Amino acid sequence: MKSRLFAYCLVSSYLVTFSTGSFGQDPSPGTKPVESGATVAAAQTEPSKPGKGPTGPVIDGERFTTRQVLDPPQGGLPVCVFIAPSTWKDQSQVIWNYAHVSSPVKIAASAENPSSAEAFFAFPAAEFFCLRPDAGYYQPGQNLGGLTYSQQPLPPAQALLEIVRRLRSNVYNLKVIGSKDLPGLADALRMPKSDTQRGVGLKVTYDFNNTPVEEEFYAVHYTIEIPYDGPQGRTWQTNWGLNSIHSFRAPKATLERRRPVFAAIARSFRPNPAWQQRLVAVNAYLQEQFNRQLQAGYDQIAAAAQMSRQISANNDAMLASIDSRLRTSRAAGAPSSGRSANDRFSDYVRGVETVDDPYYGTSQHSSTESYHWTDGYGTYRNSSDPAYNPNQSESSGWQLMTPTR
């Protein structure tokens, strides 16, 4: 496979890591993944109308707009935002399973061109574990706390191929074109440094609505070794899987030309700090409840099921407890000055940049332009040209304003 097929990975600046849940579900319209045999709080957003949200850049003739991934079970809190062409329809899913103590939420998102087969997909992570030595307690495919048991980790390319075959099991004429190691992918996605991470890409072709298409899948493979020391000596649990699974789909022989559009979507994901704080609080709450069940004499599987039933019966109480914890945490850690991560997230959602302004103190300007000048009296000149300087063509006294910190 030509290396340029995956060239975007080397320049991609950000993609939110959907490190949530087991095998990813296809977030195409009409799909609503709900796991059987467990208590689930699920939410699927309605597809956004084309053009929804603040306007953004123009790429390959496409005007982009901002989209949100919302979490209705957590009060409709935005999980993250991203941009997509204004005519494309986006859809997202946030699925909670409180029995999955190790990975309680799964997230997926998509943006699709209604006039062609073009689409961007972001899938939930694929998360597994295996044991060494293996005493035969679990069966392959068994889910424990949100992680799926396997006898041993799969190599990156093989693991991604298995995911792709499941995600595209209902398509016709699926053919694998090839795979490629992408050592720079984790850095490009700004994921935490780890010696056990390896980026991987895979390209396939198939027929979609009687149209030949090509689709490229990307992911970051990881392994984490966890030692346990007990009466029988040392044992190891290996957590492994694929994070940041996403794909680009386009009519055959057009994906390379449209790569800038797909890469812009992938680079644009920004997490909501408030939702991340809430996820930390939910995880802490679930772990506390799980430990209480273990202390009461339940084994791990029964404890997770009992905890899930109790939370489902008292969902409002759980949310109230989490809200109280977050209020206490925010009050204790409130910054004395400066702009918070939540302020910056709000700017991104609204498509503005807040800058220090000698006239107003601060002012906000469109984030589609990077350089904001003022004469100090409430008049502004905005530009995306780094060489632009209004002092060269107008009366002097113009100042370049800097982002507010």
Task: Show which of 233, 249, 271 is a domain's final residue.
Answer: 271
Q: Check pLDDT > 70 for residue 344.
A: yes
Print the domain residue range for 247.
3-271
Contact 107, 77 (CB under 8 A): no
**Hey, is 361 helix, strand or coil?**
strand
Tell me: pLDDT of 330 over 70: no
pLDDT, one tens digit per residue, over 165-205 is 999 999 999 999 999 999 988 887 778 888 999 999 999 99
Q: Are residues 259 and 303 in the same domain?
A: no
Query: Average pLDDT of the chain?
Result: 80
Calculate Rg over the CA atoms of the chain.
24
Choose the final residue of a domain: 271, 300, 320.
Answer: 271
pLDDT band at 294 (very low <50, low <70, confident <90, very high): low
pLDDT at residue 43 is higher than 90: no
Residues 97 and 215 in one domain: yes
Mean pLDDT over 361-367 rounds to: 84
> Is 173:213 a contact under the CB 8 Å cutoff?
no
**Amino acid residing at 182:** L
CA–CA dist 158, 203 (Å, integer): 13
Residue 61 in tokens: 């003739």
Verify that 227 and 265 share a domain, yes or no: yes
Q: Which range scores top for mean pLDDT: 44-48, 107-111, 327-331?
A: 107-111
Confidence of residue 145 (pLDDT cuts 50, 70, 90): confident
- Average of per-residue pLDDT across 83-108: 92
Decide which of 251, 271, 291 is a domain's last residue.
271
Residue 351's pLDDT is what?
Answer: 80
- Classify residue 348 by its DSSP letter: H
- One domain for residues 389 and 295: no
Distances (CA, A) of 354 to 237, 350, 358, 392: 47, 11, 13, 25
Q: Concatenated DSSP letters for 214-272?
A: EEEEEEEEEEEEEEEEETTEEEEEEEEEEEEEEEEEEETT-TTTTHHHHHHHHHT-EE-
How confident is residue 85, by pLDDT bands cut at 50, 70 and 90? very high
Q: What is the pLDDT of residue 300?
A: 61
Residue bearing the bigger pLDDT, 11 or 403: 403
